[in-house]
Structure 1
């Protein structure tokens, strides 16, 4: 127990508090991606049932990620005043409830409205979780903690896709989405019970001008600007890749079922391993070296998917997924370390770019798919990844700014 006037220690790996933290972060990460991306394998289903194009169908995902991107700029700032845990828990519960509501939406426009609201409620989680970790966890354990949070993202993304694919074939897409909402409620309860209270959070006054100055401070740092750009490019490419993969595999010559396409998303397990493994690797070799290597892995995998052989396509999917989650775990933890003030706002800016890339490029990919099929989608994603590679190589020459000289 911490005595009066003493500064409480930060959470370290191997302790019971750190294990409870990991459970809560994993559950939160799981719910975020399961709820957000459960509609991704259903895009061809929506096109057929509601008679909309691939680009319009993608709005069921893009509206959520777009609203999430914008709303995070607000909720990240609110958490600087109200605290981390209350907003995180409220975000999980409300998002799960809205997901259940979306399962009974009577028409396409109502479904889109509920998905838009889900983006708003989920905004109270990702950036705040990143700030919470940077404040409460020992520096040597941050990579592991963030890796487990992102690992939860990977498992949630896997569950959201596989469960919806299988249950859509067996029952209906409505039952599938309702099931995801129920899983989200379970994850919310786990996070509420397990997440340790903040011990290092220092509330700020609710001064809009001061909050805007904090945003400006982050945007003046060239290192943070580069990391924000990486978020846009990497996530934009990754979501576009997966958005239209289902359209390719459901058509001839593959003609896969929704269950089979959902099963392909089990490669998200690779992301669980990658985020943790690469986090450790970056701790030993340095973020600067490992980030650009992960982007090269994504480019290699993307090239392989141009093959007509299904096994090679699967290999390419594995490589893209491994590289993405590895790169994201590095960049997201780097933001929390580099930001010197208002860490939740820095994380919110990173995730604004991350989810704005998902929204804008994810829908743009539908235009490329309609015009040039998979070759067009691949070309778009390749341009994004090459730009991300150039930025990652520039980051290897970036000077540190931490007061103790730590390379951040």
Structure 2
């Protein structure tokens, strides 16, 4: 069957299950590595004698590398194919992830983490474009939500595993343990994922649109720019909260032990549940209202984290996480679905460029606010970022078709 006549894998079919499962393991291999230092940031700061904001650069360096790489990876995938590009990326990242903990000082760690982020960029740059080509249009939003749920599991596993092992054997051992897990996940991704049937790789002599043209098309769309702003602002707020919450809870009046702070990353499971739910709701009711509702939930969760009671902070973190991943599932799936067929990979990669640029910028910059002004001003800025994201969505997406498929 040619790419033109292929209508997509049907939900419930063996090939559909293999596709979703394969991308689930790609999400683990990618996002477990990307965020594994986050659970051991206090230990990195103590061991290397640096500030919380400097320690958080170990996360920001990787997300900055990823942001810089997603657009080039989308171009590579147009030439060599989606699955091959993702496979090369996750395998290279795993090798770099095994080397990063060998660093004796922060400079070397940041260089290796930046390179690791470049390699990791292959999956977010390509995965949703691959999904939009391999799954029928009626089920694209729900499938995207399932993929995002897999990425939440990867982020959770990376943080929990590095935190638990790191507390017992040091932060280096924690990051090594995550890299080993990611090697297994990468192998399962390559084994399970079905070959692409809805896409034919472009060759250098093809007469179709140039790479620059396919990249510029989404940038001329107000709706696409509004979607990219969602990733930039919401991801920046999300990563900042998870970067500095451990420092906040280890200080007065909480004084929580490291093992209990690590367990708070289980709040990620709220995102695992909310991502496919948001995708299903978007398929039935449209992406726009689900996006705004998810942003509102994110803001409410952030406000609750101002209360100086650990149980209330936990409830706030759960709501904040669920809302963020609901919004991300909708916006990230909407970008390639709303793009022209020849620009789907570029639309997705531009979304993730904004997404990880926000992670890098605010994941570090809000740490300066936390360090100088404290938690209250930090959270108020997070809420303000959510409000700006909602305003941009209202202005840029209200007149766009609802997104129901």
- Class of the TM-score when normalised by the shorter of the 2 chains: over 0.9
- Residues 235-283 of structure 1, C-alpha deviation per residue, up to 9 Å, x if partnerless? 0111111111011011122222222111001011110100011110111
1:235 aligned partner? 235
Q: Distance in 1 between matches of 2:244 and 2:257?
A: 15
Q: Distance in 2 between matches of 1:103 and 1:164?
A: 12
Q: Distance in 2 between matches of 1:367 and 1:321?
A: 22
Q: Distance in 2 between matches of 1:312 and 1:406?
A: 35
Structure 1 residues 298 and 5, CA gap change in structure 2 (3 angstroms): closer
Query: Does 2:156 align with 1:158?
Result: yes
Structure 1 residues 135 and 173, CA gap change in structure 2 (3 angstroms): same
* Structure 1 residue matching 2:122: 3-state secondary structure: coil
Q: Distance in 2 between matches of 1:392 and 1:315?
A: 26
1:106 aligned partner? 104
Moved over 6 A (4+): none
Matched ranges for 1:167-246 at <5 A: 167-206=165-204, 210-246=210-246
* Structure 2 residue matching 1:342: 3-state secondary structure: helix
Contact 1:43 1:57 in 2 (8 A): yes
1:255 aligned partner? 255
Shift, 1:324, TM fit: 0.3
Shift, 1:26, TM fit: 0.5
1:276 aligned partner? 276
CA-atom RMSD, angstroms? 1.8
* Structure 2 residue matching 1:255: 3-state secondary structure: coil
Could you state the TM-score of these two structures normalised by the residue count of structure 1?
0.95
Aligned residues: 402
Shift, 1:375, TM fit: 1.0
Contact 1:21 1:194 in 2 (8 A): yes
2:31 aligned partner? 33
1:347 aligned partner? 348
- Residues 170-204 of structure 1, C-alpha deviation per residue, up to 9 Å, x if partnerless? 11111111110011001101100001111111323
Contact 1:163 1:262 in 2 (8 A): no
Query: Does 2:357 align with 1:359?
Result: no
Q: Distance in 2 between matches of 1:92 and 1:15?
A: 27
Shift, 1:156, TM fit: 1.1
Shift, 1:7, TM fit: 2.3
Matched ranges for 1:3-402 at <5 A: 7-206=5-204, 210-340=210-340, 341-400=342-401
Could you state the TM-score of these two structures normalised by the residue count of structure 2?
0.95
Which runs of 5 or more structure 2 residues have no equivalent in the other structure?
Answer: none
Contact 2:217 2:343 in 1 (8 A): no
* Structure 2 residue matching 1:261: 3-state secondary structure: helix
Q: Distance in 1 between matches of 2:294 and 2:143?
A: 20
